[in-house]
Structure 1
Amino acid sequence: MPNASTLDISAIPAAQRAAVLALMDEVTALKDIARRQEHLIAELNHALHGKRSEKLSEDERQLAFEDLSIAQAEVEAEKEQRAAKKSDAATKPAPRRTIGNLPAALPRIEKVIEPDSLICPCGCGVMHKIGEDRTERLDIVPAQLRVIVTVRPKYACRSCTDGVTQAPAPARLIMGGLPTEATLAHVLVSKYADHLPLYRQSQILARAGLDLHRAVLADWVGKAAFHLKPVVDRLAQHLKRSGKLFMDETTAPVLDPGRGRTKTGYLWALARDDRPWGGDAPPGVVYFYAPGRAGENAETFLTGFNGILQIDGYTGYNRLTKSSRKGGAPVLVAHCWAHARRKLKEVFDRDGSDIAAEGLRRIAEIYAVEADIRGTAPGQRLSARKARSAPLVAAFGDWLQAQRRKISSKSRLGEKLNYIHNHWEGLQTFLTDGRVEIDNNRVENLIRPITLNRKNALFAGHDEGGIAWGRIASLIETCKINGIEPFAYLTATLTAIANGHPQSCIDDLLPWNFVPSN
């Protein structure tokens, strides 16, 4: 099949042009999938058969296989979806099972799905039952394992041979797989909210008599992550429409099988939280994974955002304020007073510096104003800041410059004062807009669950695992800050996707639009 560079599109008849272009796009997409799959297979083989000097410990190998298997499952899900679009129900291959029979000791709950009508279409009368199809799927409710048995009776007419009827099988997110959507939600919440790696979940299930290998769980997580991607992408789009966002980044150690050790990846948190000033937009957070901390990653993640960005003092964000910024207009930066205070606190805790103590006292006065106006409307906040905070900030600025003239810039305290000086413009942004917070603490609080997961899981097993980590964590943490129970939300959302939820109504699947069933 020629590509766009070798094929003269204009030479193709207009009636066939659209079909040819669609086919070329499909070929390109399949090539990309194949390349990604080949890369992942090579990574798996290297983790398993690498040089003796690069051999991994059992925990390291399990985590590597876990995340690579998740990524591989995502690729398979994309291939299956593309194949499903090109074939009708009559030509679809038989669904494949990922495990043998479920333990007989597990309780069974039968759900009988009857046809809408038992009247023979030929008018012969009521049909009678001639058989049934039975399928079993593993279902998990918290602290309980059970098996959902779906029974679909078959009915036929006694007077003719054409009147067989049966209710259609219920939709599944993973065709031919054992897990219900609630089971998938349980595995996701256990891994990304309760910080249980899949091989540990497998060990827990084994104690209940259920033999589910880590690779099976990884397959489930990868497919779920694939189907949830459009929801997370839409969540990011909603956040980037805001006039003000928070951003922060934290390390995400990632296994590098080629070197037999970990490398440092990063999860970047982009968050909205307008509750301190009574904003109508619901809070949310999206985590983007990148293999490094370069500022160009932040620039890429913020494509389409134009507004005020509340950040710490990391210099990588500087490119966002320049006219050469890609993906939008230069952003207005609001720097974090908590970081400024932290710099002085480090010096005070170390040597009890009187100058650092005075700086902390002055910052405390500014924070006292913020405590008084928290929760009020932006206009009220701005008025109070102009009247009360602006003089305090101006006095702090004069004090800062006076101390910098007296103290060596190479001393520990001098370095801290220079940090505050270098971010002075951004530290004053909160005086010009009542929506802006005095610090970046909102997004720092949203980074903590990532840190806890990192501590328990040690590291991600692969860069692709970092991407899935960020995607699922985005939905779970957005649920939590909106007071939504993540397991209930993910169960309902995965079920809706399995039942063909329309792309045009994807906003209905965002966490803040979830309505728990009674």
Structure 2
Amino acid sequence: MDKDERNRILTSSKLLKAREDSPEPWVDPYSDMSSDEKSKLLCELMAIHLRDEKRNEELMGKIDELLEGNRQISDLKAMLLELENRDKAKDSLIANQSKKITSLEEVIRLNNAHTYVSKSQKRKPKKTEDDDHTKNKDDFDGTQDSLAPPSASSETTADKPDVESESHEKEVRLYRQGKEYRTMTADKSISHECDITKLPEGAIIIKRTRRYSYEQVSSIIEHDYEVIRYKTADGIIRDGYFPLDGAPEIMDVVPGTHASSTFMAYLAFNKYVLDTPLYREISRILDEDMRLSRMTLTNWLEKGSFHINRMIGVLKECCLEKDSIINCDEIWCRVQVKGAYRKRYIWCLVNKSEKIVIYCYEDGSRGRDVLRHILGDHAIKALQSDGYNVYMYLDDNLIDIEHVCCMAHARAKLKYALEQGGDIDVAFFLDCIGELYVLEAEYEHGRLSPEQIRLCRNNLKTNEIIIRLRSKLDALLSEGHPSRGDLMEKALRYLNAFWTQLFAYTHDGSYTIDNSIAERFIRPLAGERKNSLFFGSGKMAGVSAAYHTIISTCKMQGVPVLQYLKEFFKQIVLGRTDYENLLPMTIGITNNKH
């Protein structure tokens, strides 16, 4: 603080102190006015006050009116907002109802298609005008002018010489020339020659030919084996069969039954290959004058499956050997449990390279524990399946096993969306997937090695198709896209959720693009379910799985099923237990594939 500022403050302080000590006297400002003037001034002041109060009241009234108007405006806004919310709720309800109606229509069309239309997923080519032979039928009035002009394609076809068909016919004729064409053969052949001495007198032989007829002999023979119980020199009591000369060397009886090895083979073949229910098998046996109950046949099949199950253990080890590629699927069946019919599941494992098929009942469960138990500690390379969530166990826990999903399942969902929903975007996906299948067919027809297939699956052409698919999928799943039907929505979600697994087949040339091989081996169980309706117990469901394992493996190996069953039960009757040598590929039956 400088000196001048300090002096100024001290001066101000002294002035204030002086005013406090000696205040100025009060002076009346109206002292020079008369009483009348003062009265008039008071009246004017009162009038002004009254006018101000009136004006204030008017202002307050207007303020109240404004406030009341604001309240009404607020009420109107609230009513409008409520009406807007109601309209939005109504529109949302209408949209949901419309979506439900569309979904129901899709389901109805899908059911009708499954009921009345072919279930084939092959895309039919669009019908062109040239394909419609009845299009111009109603336009023809009998004159030459009313005839439709021939198309270019028809002229080309008419003018083109049929060179290919001619060469094909010549090839067929050359193939048959001087040869006798026969496709029918039998296991045994009996020749019946003519006695030329019985010809009419003077007859001359012009030509000798053969005529064939086939007779099926079916009969059930009862073999009565005499069994002698005897006591050895060391005091041991035994039973024995001691055949006479020319009699069977052993008793041909499958352990635990009264059936021979041949009878058991035919019984299993009829039941699990021809899908003949046991009550029909009983009818056939009754016509051959044999009496037995359905439960007896059931028990015999169960006894036979005991030895098959012992062999399946060996077969499973071959199927799930290290670095194997397994195709897996499951199918439902009806099983009688405590007097009620329950839905249970049978699993199917296919090893394409080893040509082995395994069916597992596993108490009918479809849960994750079943898959964990089936795979066990086997270090397989990959497992291919559909998009069932249980198989996510492979991605979550068994990261060493590559999970490959089935492209055919994704395509089927898109195909249903096209047929029932009519979504125009589906055709793009189907065309791209169709291109991938065309490439796979080229690899197969070219007999490429797995390494060559892997390189082809990762070339520029395949990657372009996959990129187009991904770009279209991202565009359809983006926000703001128009609403679509439930079938299309499900197809897109499936394709997006299993994208990595669907295209994992490109990682190895030994992988397949779809799981069709497992689907094919599921069909025999579907046929049995249709004919026999249900299993009487979980045990018989396991028996069915055991027999189908052997039957399907025989088909994969090209081994005649009936011949194998006869040989297998014959070896069991002989007492063999070396099951590793009784497999379809090791029992010694010649492959019937040419």
Instruction: Please say if 1:202 is aligned against 2:276.
Output: no
User: Who is 2:330 aligned against?
Assistant: 249
Worse-superposed segment, 448-457 or 205-214: 205-214
Query: Which blocks of at least 5 consecutive residues in structure 1 are unaligned?
Result: 1-140, 155-164, 275-280
User: Who is 1:340 aligned against?
Assistant: 410
How far the C-alpha of 1:152 sits from its partner, in A, is 8.8
Task: Answer yes or no: is the 8 Å Cα contact 1:192–1:472 preserved in 2.
Answer: yes
2:219 to 125, 140, 145: 145
Superposed counterparts of 1:64-463, under 5 Å:
144-147=218-221, 149=223, 166=242, 170=250, 172-175=252-255, 177-241=257-321, 242-259=323-340, 262-274=341-353, 281=354, 283-289=355-361, 290-305=363-378, 306-323=380-397, 325=398, 330-374=400-444, 375-387=447-459, 388-405=461-478, 406=481, 408=483, 411-463=486-538
Task: Answer yes or no: is the 8 Å Cα contact 2:225–2:251 preserved in 1.
Answer: no
CA 1:347–1:251 in 2, change beyond 3 Å: closer, same or farther?
A: same
How far the C-alpha of 1:473 sits from its partner, in A, is 0.7
Distance (whole Å) between structure 2 residues aligned to residue 440 and residue 270 of structure 1: 11
Task: Answer yes or no: is the 8 Å Cα contact 1:199–1:213 preserved in 2.
Answer: no
Task: Answer yes or no: is the 8 Å Cα contact 1:247–1:271 preserved in 2.
Answer: yes
How far the C-alpha of 1:507 sits from its partner, in A, is 2.2
**Residue type of the partner of 1:300?**
H
Distance (whole Å) between structure 2 residues aligned to residue 227 and residue 451 of structure 1: 25
Number of residue pairs matched by the alignment: 354
**Residue type of the partner of 2:377?**
G
1:198-240 alpha-carbon deviations (Å, 9 max, x no partner): 2321121101211122122122111101121111121111111
**Residue type of the partner of 2:258?**
L
Query: Which blocks of at least 5 consecutive residues in structure 2 are unaligned?
Result: 1-214, 229-240
User: Who is 2:582 aligned against?
Assistant: 509
1:106-160 alpha-carbon deviations (Å, 9 max, x no partner): xxxxxxxxxxxxxxxxxxxxxxxxxxxxxxxxxxx98512426578999xxxxxx
**Residue type of the partner of 2:360?**
F
How far the C-alpha of 1:349 sits from its partner, in A, is 0.4
How far the C-alpha of 1:169 sits from its partner, in A, is 5.3
Worse-superposed segment, 226-235 or 453-462: 226-235
CA 1:285–1:153 in 2, change beyond 3 Å: closer, same or farther?
A: closer
Distance (whole Å) between structure 2 residues aligned to residue 176 and residue 359 of structure 1: 58
1:433-460 alpha-carbon deviations (Å, 9 max, x no partner): 0000000001000001110010000011
**Residue type of the partner of 2:387?**
G
Task: Answer yes or no: is the 8 Å Cα contact 1:173–1:497 preserved in 2.
Answer: no
How far the C-alpha of 1:474 sits from its partner, in A, is 0.5
Distance (whole Å) between structure 1 residues aligned to residue 467 and residue 327 of structure 2: 25
How far the C-alpha of 1:490 sits from its partner, in A, is 1.0
Superposed counterparts of 1:7-86, under 5 Å:
none
SS at match of 2:335: strand
CA 1:449–1:243 in 2, change beyond 3 Å: closer, same or farther?
A: same
Distance (whole Å) between structure 1 residues aligned to residue 454 and residue 584 of structure 2: 31
Worse-superposed segment, 430-439 or 376-385: 376-385
**Residue type of the partner of 2:472?**
W
User: Who is 1:498 aligned against?
Assistant: 573
Distance (whole Å) between structure 2 residues aligned to residue 176 and residue 454 of structure 1: 27
Q: Matched residues, percent identical?
A: 25
Task: Answer yes or no: is the 8 Å Cα contact 2:254–2:572 preserved in 1.
Answer: no
Q: CA RMSD in A?
A: 2.7
Task: Answer yes or no: is the 8 Å Cα contact 2:264–2:301 preserved in 1.
Answer: yes
1:223-263 alpha-carbon deviations (Å, 9 max, x no partner): 1011211111211111111520100001011123433xx11
**Residue type of the partner of 1:273?**
K
**Residue type of the partner of 2:351?**
R
How far the C-alpha of 1:299 sits from its partner, in A, is 1.7
Larger radius of gyration: 2
How far the C-alpha of 1:414 sits from its partner, in A, is 2.1
Distance (whole Å) between structure 2 residues aligned to residue 153 and residue 257 of structure 1: 42
Distance (whole Å) between structure 2 residues aligned to residue 142 and residue 316 of structure 1: 50
CA 1:479–1:402 in 2, change beyond 3 Å: closer, same or farther?
A: same
Worse-superposed segment, 290-299 or 225-234: 290-299
What's the TM-score once normalised by structure 1's chain length? 0.64
How far the C-alpha of 1:512 sits from its partner, in A, is 2.4
CA 1:515–1:143 in 2, change beyond 3 Å: closer, same or farther?
A: farther
Structure having the larger proportion of residues in strand: 1
CA 1:364–1:148 in 2, change beyond 3 Å: closer, same or farther?
A: same
Task: Answer yes or no: is the 8 Å Cα contact 2:421–2:488 preserved in 1.
Answer: no
Distance (whole Å) between structure 1 residues aligned to residue 417 and residue 250 of structure 2: 64
Distance (whole Å) between structure 2 residues aligned to residue 357 and residue 240 of structure 1: 39
How far the C-alpha of 1:407 sits from its partner, in A, is 5.1
What's the TM-score once normalised by structure 2's chain length? 0.56
Task: Answer yes or no: is the 8 Å Cα contact 2:421–2:485 preserved in 1.
Answer: no
